[in-house]
Amino acid sequence: MIIGLYTKDFALLNRITSKIKDKNIKLRHIDDISKLNDDYHVLISKNKIRNCDVPQIQPGNLDILELKIRCKIYESSNLIIGIDPGGVIGLSVIGAGRILFMNTYENPLDLATIIKSVELEIGIKTIKIGSGSPPERTRILDSLKDHASKIQLVNEYNSGSGSHTKAATRIALRQVEYKLEEKYQPKSGEIAWIQKESRRLSNGLVTIDKELAYDILIGKISMSDAISKYTEKIKNR
């Protein structure tokens, strides 16, 4: 696929070039828009160009630039996101019946930044998160609380063989929403871990009780809301 890049900003040109890893994406720098022709599948430009028949995208978050190119080529929006929770988080983005993007992250906040950009710049239909690794899953849910209305918890049984991104793809393709609270019973060690995390995240101010830790693990409340609720509770004693 041939992608035109129309810009006189050479710093931006270099940043975009460094972000394109897919060998099937052939970038061609254009310094004169009149040279644009039907050979180009997509045009990247800093600002939208009027009277241009080639589909256009603006740079935005360059970490999802390849995804934006594929979405424009395959006319895909309202994407399905699959997330495999764990120490390494797997991400897979599905649209137009294709896997459009895959990556891994070590920090839920980095994942949340990507999800926010995908929502703002393309559009998300559903975010499916695997039910395994409860502590890590809880951190992911907390980081994605702004997208709560689009999140489904999915039974990830038999999804884990292979890479984190392959597991995320299988999760994205699962059709049935998994009602976590009906099937998952938090263990005492997991509850204790959540309590310890609450103390760390509140900078040592509070340690939430077991009931709130339980609710976090079954997805009923976020960590930040649990800390706020418990802080208010002890103030009113």
20 & 113 share domain: no
In a domain, 69, yes or no: no
Q: Is residue 67 part of a domain?
A: no
Encoded tokens for 115? 């999800």
Q: Check whether residue 162 and residue 93 sit in a common domain.
A: yes
In a domain, 66, yes or no: no
The verdict on 89 and 137 lying in the same domain is: yes
Range of the domain at 43: 2-59
177 and 194 belong to one structural domain: no
Are both 192 and 166 inside the same structural domain? Answer: no
> Apex CA 180: angle with CA 123 and CA 79, to 5°?
15
229 part of a folded domain: yes
Q: What is the pLDDT of residue 159?
A: 60
Same domain (yes/no): 169, 198: no
pLDDT for position 181: 44
Same domain, 110 and 29: no
In contact, 181 and 220? CB cutoff 8 Å: yes
| Confidence at residue 222, expressed as pLDDT on a 0 to 100 scale | 77
Residues 201, 222, single domain; the answer is yes
Q: Which amino acid is at 105?
A: Y
CA pair distance 178, 156, nearest whole angstrom? 9
Q: Which residues contact 102 (CB under 8 A, 6 or more apart)?
A: 90, 91, 92, 93, 165, 168, 169
Domain check: are 99 and 142 in the same one? yes
Q: Which pTM was predicted? A: 0.77
How many structural domains is the chain composed of?
Answer: 3
Q: Among the residues of 108-222, which ranges form H helices?
A: 108-121, 134-143, 164-173, 180-183, 188-201, 210-217
Q: Which two tokens stand for residue 183?
A: 């099937």
For residue 16, is it within any domain?
yes
From 182, 200, 222, give the residue that closes a domain.
182
65 inside domain: no
126 and 200, same domain (yes or no): no
Strands 151-154 and 124-130: parallel
**CATH number of the domain that residue 109 is part of:** 3.30.420.140
The answer to whether residue 172 sits within a structural domain is yes
Say whether both 44 and 83 belong to one domain.
no
- pLDDT tens, residue order, the chain (237 aa): 999 999 989 999 999 999 999 999 999 999 888 888 889 999 999 999 998 899 999 999 999 999 999 999 999 999 999 999 988 999 999 999 999 999 999 999 999 999 999 999 999 999 999 877 777 888 898 899 899 888 888 877 666 567 999 999 999 998 755 544 445 677 888 889 889 989 998 999 999 999 999 888 776 787 888 999 999 988 887
Query: Where is the domain boundary, 164, 182, 200?
Result: 182
Dihedral angle sign, alpha carbons of residues 99, 100, 103, 107: negative
**Other C-beta atoms lying within 10 Å of the C-beta of residue 3:** 22
Within this chain, do residues 171 and 198 fall inside the same structural domain, yes or no?
no
